Structure formats: C-alpha cells, structure tokens
Homo-oligomer: A and B are copies of this chain.
Amino acid sequence: MSLLIVGTVAFDQIESPFGKTDKILGGAATFIGLAASKLGVDSGIVSVIGGDFPERDFNLLQSKGIDLTGIEKIESGKTFYWSGRYHSNMNSRDTLVTELNVLENFQPVVPEKWKNAEVLMLGNLAPAVQMMVLNQMTRRPKMVVLDTMNFWMDHTLTDLLQVLKHVDVLTINDEEARQLSGEYGMKASAERILQMGPKILIIKRGEYGSLLFKEGEVFFAPALPLDEVVDPTGAGDTFAGGFSGYLAKTMDYSFENLKRAVIYGSTMASFTVQKFGTESLQELTDAELWERLEIFRELTRFDLD
C-alpha cells in the first residue's frame, strides 16, 4: 500500500474576502501528501524546494509519516511561490504572482525504494515532468492518477496527450474537460477523453460535486453545502490525495471502490476549503473525518421504495 506523489511543494500567499495570509505552506504535493497521510498510507513525495524552505514545514510533513527523500533541496534557489486573490463569489481568482524559481528546471529523481510504488499520483505539473517520473518506475504502478490544468492544454498539449496515454485516471474540472475534448456536454466530453488513454475520468465541479466516468459507468458524487468557503486553494489536490491515498490503502480498483475513493477525496476537500492553506488538513482528527464521511453518505442516500 505505497503511494508515490509527484508535485509542487511551495509557498502560497492568499487573499480572500475572509482575510489575507503571509507566505504559507502550499503546493500540490503538500496537500496530496497531507490528505493521504490521514489514511495511514505509506507515502513519499518527489519534488524540489529552495534554500528558503523552512525546516518547520519540512518537519511538519515528515511528522505525518511522509517520506521526503525524493525532495531535492537547491540551497542557492528559491521555493516555488504563488500568490492569488479570490473574488467575493469564490468561483474566480486572479493570480497576482507566479515565481517558478527552482521549479523551472526541475528534473525529478525517483528514489530507488519508490520505483515500484503501488499507486502513482502525478500532481499538476508540466506533462514532460510527469512523463519523466513515469519513465523511472521499474514496475508499472497498479494505478497512475494524473492531475492537470488548462495551462498545460494551452501550452504543452502534445506532451500532455503523450503522458495521457500512460495513465489510468485523469482528474480535471469541467471547463478543462470541454477544452480537452472539444465537446460541451460532460457525457460526450468523457467519452472522447476516455479514448485518449485514461480508463477513468474524474470531472471536478467544486460546489457541484464531481463525476466519475468509466466505460459504460458513471457516478455522481456530491459536494457538501458549507456555511463558508474561506479559501479554495488546494481543494483539488486534497481531493487527489484522498482519492489516490484511499486506492493505495485498499489496493482495490473496482468501480465500487473507485466511488468510495471519490467520496474520501470529496470529504477531505470539504475540510481544506474551510480554512486557509493546509490548516484544516493539519488539524483534522480521525473522528472529524469519520463524522463527515457519514454526512456524505446521508447527503445522497435515498430509497425508491
């Protein structure tokens, strides 16, 4: 039950109607790792950080049982930094600053002990970098999950289409599904994308939940209506961490279990958005997680008779 995570470990600085943060711990691999760690999975991160990355944050990730030997530290460089501002409706945001820094020339190196991981979670990164990781695996993972975004469709579509041929699960949002497929409807989009390589597609729709597609099957997962969304940053990565972590833990890739994995991912993401950055994930107790999983179960449960 091993999960290899590839993605950014970064600084985020966020403004939302609920406040403004300093530079805080962020990055796709961070959220994925913290979410997966809640499930007690044996996980490791492949990433890169600069000399400015605080020992406190490094220790935090390590304290959660995440193996960090795959994180390269470039002492002379600076850690990837993103700053953004969310609008009052929380559905749109402006990027204020993107400093790639050490990420610019990132050459991922998978530690020997992680080259036969059961599940590989390729967090949102340049598709060429995602491909480099795949190529280093000595055993094809049982499940390769890839997260990506419109930026890579705009700028490196050929690379993206190439890596898609080698993954099992793709996670994107609805606009990205439309862009990638050239189809408007979600069902038509899914059918097109499932011909590009992935056998499974997850379309993330924020407060509207998500759709899980596999050939001939579909699952409509809910999102929990929340009192307040304070900071949506990391919601998609938390989802990816809960999803891939649950699969790595259970090692069951049936459609029934994929549905459960989606519910775990959605449940964890519902915590992330309630506070800034990784605060919710850091504090989350097992009891809170189980309680909310039950709420998710009730949310869509009905009997026809």
Contacts and interface: CB of A to CB of B under 8 A. Distances in A.
Nearest to A227: B187
A17 to B, nearest CB: 10
B185 A304 contact: no
B184 A89 contact: yes
A297 to B, nearest CB: 6
Contacts of A229: 185
A58 interface: no
Oligomeric state, in number of copies? 2
Question: Which of A89, A185, A297, A302 has most chain B Cβ within 10 Å?
Answer: A302
Nearest to A262: B302
A63 interface: no
Contact of A300 (B89, B184, B221, B225): B221
15 contacts: A89-B184, A90-B184, A185-B227, A186-B225, A187-B225, A190-B225, A205-B208, A208-B208, A209-B220, A211-B225, A219-B300, A221-B300, A259-B302, A260-B303, A263-B304
Nearest to A88: B184
A231 to B, nearest CB: 14
Contacts of A293: 304
A190 B208 CA distance: 16
Given A208-B208, A209-B208, A220-B209, A256 B303 contact: yes
